[in-house]
Amino acid sequence: MSGNETESVSARPVLIVSDHTGITAESSARSLLAHFGGLFTYHSRPFVTTAQLAEQVAGELRQMQAEGPPPLVFATLTNPELLGTLQRVSALVFDLLGENLTRLEGILGQPAIRQVGGHHDMRDPQQYLARMDALDFTLSTDDGVGKNRYSDADIILVGVSRVGKTPTSLFLALQYGLRASNYPLADDDFASTELPVPLQPFQDRLYGLTIDARRLHTIRTHRKPGSRYASLEACEFEVRRAERLFQTQRLPMQNTTSASIEEIAVGILGYLKRQAQSGSAFPLP
């Protein structure tokens, strides 16, 4: 996300300026600019916390303006003076923080603290330890290992090789502190519509991932070109059998073909929430 600094001829520069990591600011900018055609190159300037650093960025901004199309500037700067330093150079500053803070002050009837910091709860020691525990657990039950620990899992992702189980599990652990295991379906599992033995005691926390066979073929070919494993025929067979298993066992199922890891993860969270509301014992992050 830190952006590609190599400018192509037609690209419009986007400058992200934050007194913290700038990750949220850049996400917001990318979400907004996804609605427009044309190329954008992102330049991130994190941890801009002093007048001197703001002046430095203002200097870069001036230079960029002199060299090409004026950058779009997205700022999350708590200190209005630092924001002003940029606004004096450019009329194209999007203040993602200040206006909303002012409105919230009115609604909440209290002044904003306006301290640099951000919201990442890794600073809360207990929360941090819980997430690290979740990550340790997830790593120790990745890709079918550690099956004897499934009773401690919040969710167990099930699917064929390369459907997206590992990145989704890690994202769930890192971002939401979920203990997310994953079990790869393999040859032995395709012969039957019964659940694989290690999964049988945990039917209520299984979550099926599936994918378009052609897409799977592309992904596996990238990994092991020309192999039987990557052949379209094998991919079609495995996906068909996996989906049959999910349907027979009435498992929730999500198609990952055109979904980002974030989208898959939010789908899983929604499922867990519905489970919790329907009286299941799942903890929610």
H-state helical runs in the chain: 23-33, 51-67, 80-87, 98-108, 125-140, 165-176, 187-190, 213-223, 232-248, 261-277
What DSSP designation does 93 have? E
Min dist CB 244 to its own copies, Å, is 26
Kindly state the number of chain residues that form the binding site for its own copies, as judged by CB under 8 A.
Answer: 80
Rg of the chain over CA atoms, in angstroms?
24
Which member of 11, 53, 219, 253 binds its own copies (CB under 8 A)?
Answer: 219
Among residues 110 and 191, whose Cβ is nearest to its own copies? Answer: 110
Asked if 94 is part of the footprint of its own copies (rule: CB under 8 A), the reply reads yes
Among residues 171 and 241, whose Cβ is nearest to its own copies? Answer: 171
Which member of 58, 72, 180, 239 binds its own copies (CB under 8 A)?
Answer: 72
Q: What part of residues 2-61 is at the interface with its own copies (CB under 8 A)?
A: 2, 4-5, 12, 20-24, 27-28, 30-38, 44, 46-47
Asked if 66 is part of the footprint of its own copies (rule: CB under 8 A), the reply reads no
Q: What part of residues 110-129 is at the interface with its own copies (CB under 8 A)?
A: 110, 112-115, 117-123, 125, 129
Integer Cα distance of 31 and 25 in angstroms: 10
Tell me how far the alpha carbon of residue 92 is from its chain's centroid. Answer: 28
Asked if 148 is part of the footprint of its own copies (rule: CB under 8 A), the reply reads no
Terminal-to-terminal C-alpha distance of the chain = 26
3-state secondary structure of 169: helix
Min dist CB 58 to its own copies, Å, is 19
Which member of 39, 51, 63, 104 binds its own copies (CB under 8 A)?
Answer: 104
Q: What part of residues 245-284 is at the interface with its own copies (CB under 8 A)?
A: 258-263, 265-266, 269-270, 273, 276, 284
Asked if 152 is part of the footprint of its own copies (rule: CB under 8 A), the reply reads no
Quickly count: other Cβ atoms within 10 Å of residue 284's Cβ.
12
| Among 49-57, 89-97, 147-155, 192-200, the segment contacting its own copies (CB under 8 A) | 89-97
Min dist CB 249 to its own copies, Å, is 25
Residue 100 burial by Cβ neighbours in a 10 Å radius (0-12, 13-18, 19+): exposed
Ramachandran angles phi, psi of 185, nearest 5° = -75, 135
Min dist CB 194 to its own copies, Å, is 30
Asked if 170 is part of the footprint of its own copies (rule: CB under 8 A), the reply reads yes
Integer Cα distance of 205 and 154 in angstroms: 7
Integer Cα distance of 211 and 39 in angstroms: 30
Asked if 84 is part of the footprint of its own copies (rule: CB under 8 A), the reply reads no
Give every CB contact of residue 28 below 8 A, 6+ residues apart in sequence: 74, 96
Integer Cα distance of 158 and 178 in angstroms: 16
Min dist CB 12 to its own copies, Å, is 8
Min dist CB 150 to its own copies, Å, is 20
Asked if 232 is part of the footprint of its own copies (rule: CB under 8 A), the reply reads no
